[in-house]
């Protein structure tokens, strides 16, 4: 069995390397090159991701104020206890979960639908790919600023919706109503990221060999049964990837909520954990408390990722 | 021969380079950084002062960096947290106060700012205006501006609505509602023209005085309790609920800020809250409107049944100096501040900023400024905005209370309960 460069086989690799360090086998050479290529990204990850996570975990155990010259005071898990007893933090968890569920589920469903639509086109495939993908290249700040203008009571959103529904003069309160402002943030995020995940689904769909579809059709499968029993099961790895990526993206949402609150939208309904964290750091200067918040968010992300893996777990797909 | 020549040329080049670098380094002995918020009118005069200062002090180089005012707090805090703050900066005192109490700022060097003693500095300014920058008996900053807000009125819109701006302008908050009802134009529920609207993010400056007029207080006199007199707060929150889209629909934080639209004179808004500096901005943005004289400034209204006659709070931007910089830099920075503050009349006439020295307030320049007396009289019945280590947090809690009644349909009682809990917690600070 060859050396595999996945985390599970890391220790196996060390053992193998120790045992056959001077061996000149072709697999060993391959492994060495593999390590050479991944070391830069491992160093990068350790420096810019792993170290900050550990540092945040350490800082979360202290009462530390950003401007204070006094040494930070060790308080154990007090920051976590405080957060778990704080109604405002629970509101942030609620806002984050509502936003994540309300955004990532439609993103997964619609990006798959859009990808199927593009695949079914005989012409203009590239055009549709570009059209769907284009919002993803815009910065989140620019996107939120554009949408703020549209969602202004006198903006395009009210005008269009009133034109379609033939309800002149109705203010749909996109930013002014607790429920609507949550829907507005979901809408902005959906618009920005659906194209990105559509492209990922397109790649997944493209990697399913045509011969399998042809064989199914020969056996009498209709378009719908082909999708249900061939495409969907074979697309499982891509679906897992898209759902995990979009969910993590949604849990980390910040700029849309931040800019909306700057534009006058009420804070409480959309005070997601990252926004609360920002205010705790910048406004309150409580870096210890903010670190504890970030660790809780990190744990939530780990948990939901694990849950998704567990839910979707099955044998590897092979064509 | 050729090789020798090349060798000599190389040595000569290195020597010239070394000499140039050494001389430049020696000449630029002190490099100062000054962070401030964007204000085109002020940039013009301050860049000139800096040039003059550099000429008068060879070897001093000043870098002036501007940022949007909303970004200043974040930028300065991040820099200080990394021990890379600028030599000097200015922000609202509500933001700066935390830097003072955390010993991140240098106390004033009275000699460097050209005064024989600290007492002489206090004597040169209006009474109490240096109090917010005083901590443990030491003075930490000098005011770049002290600002209060009155109400700017667009006469053209008043006339268009059949009102006489001379007589019909609102004196009370109740009249503000009535006048706004006459001016407002709606298309269904959507407001096309507002009579007046508040400056929503600035609750401590603009709205806490309304509560005080009704007998309430933000913080008790002993500084231990937040949100005093529930009845006053309930009345205020009820007023705001009525003002918003779920009440009489006269304005909302989700519309474009009134102050941004006022200068354009596009029939969008008839009244807005702002300081004396707004005049410089009207002149710059819309000279025709400025020169038409079809605008005026009226005092901050008072509730009909007010128990206290207070106007909008005034706030200050203070020039302060980073305590972590070398002494030489600190002294030179105070000298630069002193040089800039030696031009209060130009700050007033060109930018509309009041540097509250006794001399300026008595000057002809102040007296001839349009509506300067309205601002002065309002300032006399006002007090400085609440400043404390957590004033920004308390302001956000007031904001949440107001937004919840105006936009989210919460009752004033519910909003008040939450506000009391949050404000008290912020005041006690864990």
The CATH class for the domain spanning B29-148+315-380 reads alpha beta
Report residue B430's pLDDT band, with 50, 70 and 90 as the boundaries. Answer: low
Average pLDDT taken over every residue of chain B: 92
Contacts of A148 in chain B (CB under 8 A): none
Helix (H, G, I), strand (E, B) or coil at B357: strand
Report residue A1's pLDDT band, with 50, 70 and 90 as the boundaries. Answer: very low
pLDDT of B75: 95
pLDDT 10s digits, B278-320: 998 999 899 999 999 999 999 999 999 999 999 999 999 999 9
Helix (H, G, I), strand (E, B) or coil at B88: strand
Q: Is A155 on the interface with B (CB under 8 A)?
A: no
Tell me: pLDDT of A17 over 50. Answer: no
Using CA atoms, how far apart are residues B242 and A100, in angstroms rounded to an integer? 34
Tell me: pLDDT of A304 over 70. Answer: yes
Tell me: pLDDT of A9 over 50. Answer: no
**% of chain B exceeding 90 in pLDDT:** 86
Q: How many CB atoms lie under 10 A from the CB of residue B244?
A: 22
Tell me: pLDDT of A11 over 50. Answer: no
Q: Is A88 on the interface with B (CB under 8 A)?
A: yes
How far from the centroid of its chain's Cα atoms is residue B283's Cα? 19
**Average pLDDT in the B138-163 region?**
96
Contact A171 B74 (CB under 8 A): no
pLDDT of A24: 59
pLDDT 10s digits, A133-174: 999 888 888 888 899 999 999 999 999 999 999 999 999 999
Least confident of A22-31, A169-178, B323-332, B408-417: A22-31
- List of domains in chain A: 54-62+73-312 (1.10.3720.10)
Domain B150-313+390-428 = CATH 3.10.20.600: no
Residue ranges per structural domain of chain B: 29-148+315-380, 150-313+390-428
Higher pLDDT residue, A6 or A148?
A: A148
pLDDT of A7: 43
Using CA atoms, how far apart are residues B78 and B364, in angstroms rounded to an integer? 42
Burial annotation A298-308 (CB, 10 A radius, 16+ → b, else e): eebbeebbeeb
Which of A1-10, A115-124, B83-92 is most confident?
A: B83-92
pLDDT of B18: 62
Tell me: pLDDT of A239 over 80. Answer: yes
Nearest residue on chain B to A289, judged by CA atoms? B430
| Residue pair A154/B190 in contact by the 8 Å Cβ criterion | yes
Radius of gyration of chain B (CA): 25
Using CA atoms, how far apart are residues A235 and A228, in angstroms rounded to an integer? 10
Residue with the two structure tokens 């570009």:
A130
Tell me: pLDDT of A8 over 80. Answer: no
Question: How long is chain B?
Answer: 430
H or E stretch at B39: none
Its sign, for the CA torsion B367, B368, B369, B372, is positive
Note the pTM of the prediction, 2 decimals: 0.85
| Residue pair B121/B130 in contact by the 8 Å Cβ criterion | yes
Report residue A30's pLDDT band, with 50, 70 and 90 as the boundaries. Answer: confident
Nearest residue on chain B to A69, judged by CA atoms? B102
Using CA atoms, how far apart are residues B339 and B347, in angstroms rounded to an integer? 13
Tell me: pLDDT of B142 over 70. Answer: yes
Nearest residue on chain A to B94, judged by CA atoms? A283
H or E stretch at B218: strand B217-219
pLDDT of B28: 55
Using CA atoms, how far apart are residues A292 and A302, in angstroms rounded to an integer? 15
**Average pLDDT in the A290-311 region?**
93
When scoring A65, A171, A267 by the number of chain B Cβ atoms within 10 A, the one with the most, hence best to mutate, is: A171
Tell me: pLDDT of B3 over 70. Answer: no
Q: Tell me the CA distances in angstroms from A54 to A40, A47, A203, B78, B383, one per residue in order.
A: 20, 11, 36, 20, 47
| Residue pair A212/A139 in contact by the 8 Å Cβ criterion | no
Of B81, B192, B403, the CB nearest to A66: B81
pLDDT of A309: 84
> Min CA distance, A155 vs chain B (Å)?
10
pLDDT 10s digits, B383-401: 999 998 889 899 999 999 9
**Average pLDDT in the A177-187 region?**
94
pLDDT of A123: 86
> Min CA distance, A272 vs chain B (Å)?
15
pLDDT 10s digits, A202-238: 999 999 999 999 999 998 888 889 999 999 999 999 9
Running DSSP on this structure, what letter comes out for residue A171? -
Nearest residue on chain B to A88, judged by CA atoms? B422
Tell me: pLDDT of A3 over 80. Answer: no
pLDDT 10s digits, B74-114: 999 999 999 999 999 999 998 899 999 999 999 998 988 99
């Amino acid at each position: 069995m060859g050396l595999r460069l996945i985390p599970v086989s890391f220790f196996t690799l060390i053992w193998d390397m120790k045992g056959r360090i001077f061996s000149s086998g072709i697999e060993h050479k391959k492994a060495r090159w593999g390590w050479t290529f991944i070391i830069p990204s491992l160093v990068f990850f350790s420096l810019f991701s792993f170290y900050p996570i550990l540092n945040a975990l350490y800082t979360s155990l202290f009462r530390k104020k950003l401007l204070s010259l006094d040494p930070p005071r060790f308080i154990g898990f007090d920051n976590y206890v405080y957060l778990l007893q704080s109604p405002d933090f629970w509101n942030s968890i609620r806002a984050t979960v509502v936003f994540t569920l309300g955004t990532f589920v439609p993103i997964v469903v619609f990006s798959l639908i859009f990808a199927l639509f593009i695949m079914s086109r005989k012409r203009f495939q590239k055009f549709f790919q570009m059209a769907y993908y284009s919002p993803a290249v815009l910065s989140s700040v620019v996107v939120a600023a554009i949408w703020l203008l549209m969602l202004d009571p006198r903006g395009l959103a009210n005008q269009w919706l009133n034109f379609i529904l033939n309800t002149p003069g109705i203010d749909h309160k996109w930013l002014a109503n607790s429920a609507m402002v949550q829907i507005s943030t979901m809408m902005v995020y959906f618009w920005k990221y659906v194209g990105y995940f559509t492209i990922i689904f397109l790649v997944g769909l493209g990697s399913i060999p045509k011969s399998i579809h042809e064989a199914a059709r020969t056996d009498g499968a209709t378009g719908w049964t082909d999708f249900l029993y061939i495409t969907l099961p074979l697309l499982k790895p891509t679906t897992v990837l898209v759902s995990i990526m979009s969910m993590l993206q949604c849990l980390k949402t910040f700029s849309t909520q931040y800019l909306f609150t700057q534009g006058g939208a009420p804070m409480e309904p959309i005070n997601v954990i990252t926004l609360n964290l920002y205010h705790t750091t910048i406004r309150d200067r409580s870096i210890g408390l903010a670190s504890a918040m970030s660790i809780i968010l990190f744990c939530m992300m780990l948990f939901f990722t694990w849950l998704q893996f567990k839910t979707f777990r099955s044998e590897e797909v092979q064509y | 021969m050729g090789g020798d020549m090349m060798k000599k040329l190389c040595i000569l080049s290195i020597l010239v380079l070394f000499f140039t670098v050494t001389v430049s380094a020696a000449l630029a002995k002190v490099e100062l950084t000054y962070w401030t918020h964007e204000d085109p009118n002020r940039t013009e005069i301050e860049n000139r002062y800096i040039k003059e200062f550099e000429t008068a002090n060879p070897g001093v180089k000043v870098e002036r960096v501007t940022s949007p005012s909303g970004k200043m707090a974040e930028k300065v805090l991040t820099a200080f947290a990394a021990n890379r703050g600028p030599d000097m900066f200015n922000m609202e005192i509500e933001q700066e106060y935390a830097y003072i109490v955390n010993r991140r700022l240098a106390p004033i060097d009275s000699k460097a700012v050209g005064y024989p003693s600290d007492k002489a500095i206090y004597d040169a300014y209006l009474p109490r205006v240096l109090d917010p920058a005083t901590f443990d008996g030491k003075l930490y900053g000098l005011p770049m501006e002290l600002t209060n807000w009155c109400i700017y009125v667009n006469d053209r819109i008043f006339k268009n609505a059949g009102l006489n701006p001379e007589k019909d302008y609102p004196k009370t908050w109740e009249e503000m509602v009535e006048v706004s009802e006459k001016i407002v134009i709606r298309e269904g529920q959507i407001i096309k023209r507002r009579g007046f609207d508040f400056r929503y993010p600035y609750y401590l400056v603009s709205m806490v005085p309304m509560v005080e007029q009704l007998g309430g207080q933000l913080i008790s006199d002993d500084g231990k309790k937040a949100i005093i007199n529930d009845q006053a707060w309930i009345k205020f929150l009820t007023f705001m609920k009525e003002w918003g889209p779920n009440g009489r629909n006269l304005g909302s934080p989700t519309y474009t800020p009134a102050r941004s639209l006022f200068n354009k004179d596009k029939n969008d808004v008839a009244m807005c809250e702002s300081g004396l500096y707004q005049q410089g901005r009207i002149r710059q943005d819309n000279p025709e409107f400025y020169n038409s004289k079809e605008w005026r400034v009226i005092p901050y209204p008072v509730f009909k049944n007010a128990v206290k006659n207070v106007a909008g709070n005034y706030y200050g931007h203070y020039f302060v100096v980073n305590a972590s910089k070398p002494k030489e830099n600190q002294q030179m920075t105070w000298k630069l501040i002193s040089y800039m503050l030696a031009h209060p009349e130009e700050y007033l006439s060109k930018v509309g900023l009041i540097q509250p020295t006794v001399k300026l307030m008595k000057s002809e320049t102040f007296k001839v400024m349009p509506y300067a007396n309205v601002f002065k009289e309002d300032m006399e019945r006002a007090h400085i905005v609440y400043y404390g280590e957590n004033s920004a947090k308390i302001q956000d809690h007031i904001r949440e209370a107001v937004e919840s009644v105006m936009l989210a349909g919460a009752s004033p009682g519910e909003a008040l309960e939450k506000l009391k809990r949050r404000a008290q917690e912020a005041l006690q600070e864990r």
